[in-house]
Amino acid sequence: MITTDELLNRLRGVKRAGKGWSAQCPAHEDRRASLSVAEGADGRLLVHCHAGCDLERILEALRVDVKDLFPDDPRGKGEIFAAYDYTDEEGNLLFQVVRFYPKDFRQRRPAGCGEWEWSLGDTPRVLYRLPEVRKAIEAGRRVFVVEGEKDVHTLEAWGLAATCNPGGAGKWPRECSEGLRGAHVVIIPITTKLATSMPNS
């Protein structure tokens, strides 16, 4: 695990802010100290960009691995790293794909009263970012189909319309094809590694 001081030393414009620190986010041209850093009650380092930068892009810019934010746990207990909402065309939450550290993925659906059911059952399988995908299609824009949610956010940061299916490559549900009705689709092979910054050309 990286120490708080080691992390702060890799940042610019660090200042004390309440119980944590503020700094310039390394993932974008930040002039407002949009990044917050704090120490969680369980010992993990909490890093958040209030301008909306993806955590993994921030860590890549700092050359820090996700695992370095977590204290050593001899029990190997999994920690939720990210939860990706899958909604219908009106934006109603249907289910989530949850990413754990160490790297693992599971799916869950709302069970009411703030609880989750860790199986999808007969929940409709839809494309990630479906409302945005449908708007892009109506506007005549290309839709890029990539391997996972992280890649979707990378392309969206470049101003492109992108989506993926729950479960990743090789697990395309037939229902997802309906969400691409009328679209000009560009499929990015899983062997293609997306950069984390906008290309020059």
Tell me the β-bridge partners of 96.
85, 108
Distance CA 79, CA 37 (A): 18
DSSP string, 59-94: HHHHT--GGGGS---TT---EEEEEEEEE-TT--EE
3-state secondary structure of 36: strand
DSSP string, 91-154: --EEEEEEEEETTEEEEEEEEETTEEESS-TTPPP--TTHHHHHHHHHTT-EEEE-SSHHHHHH
3-state secondary structure of 14: strand
Q: What is the predicted pLDDT for the residue at 199?
A: 47
| Residue-wise pLDDT tens digits, 132-176 | 999 999 999 999 999 899 899 999 999 999 999 998 767 788 889
How does the average pLDDT of the chain come out, rounded?
Answer: 86
Q: What is the predicted pLDDT for the residue at 197?
A: 46
As a whole number, mean pLDDT of residues 22-50 equals: 90
Q: Which of 78, 73, 71, 75 minimizes the C-alpha distance to 39?
A: 71
- Rounded to 5 degrees, φ, ψ at 159 are 85, 15
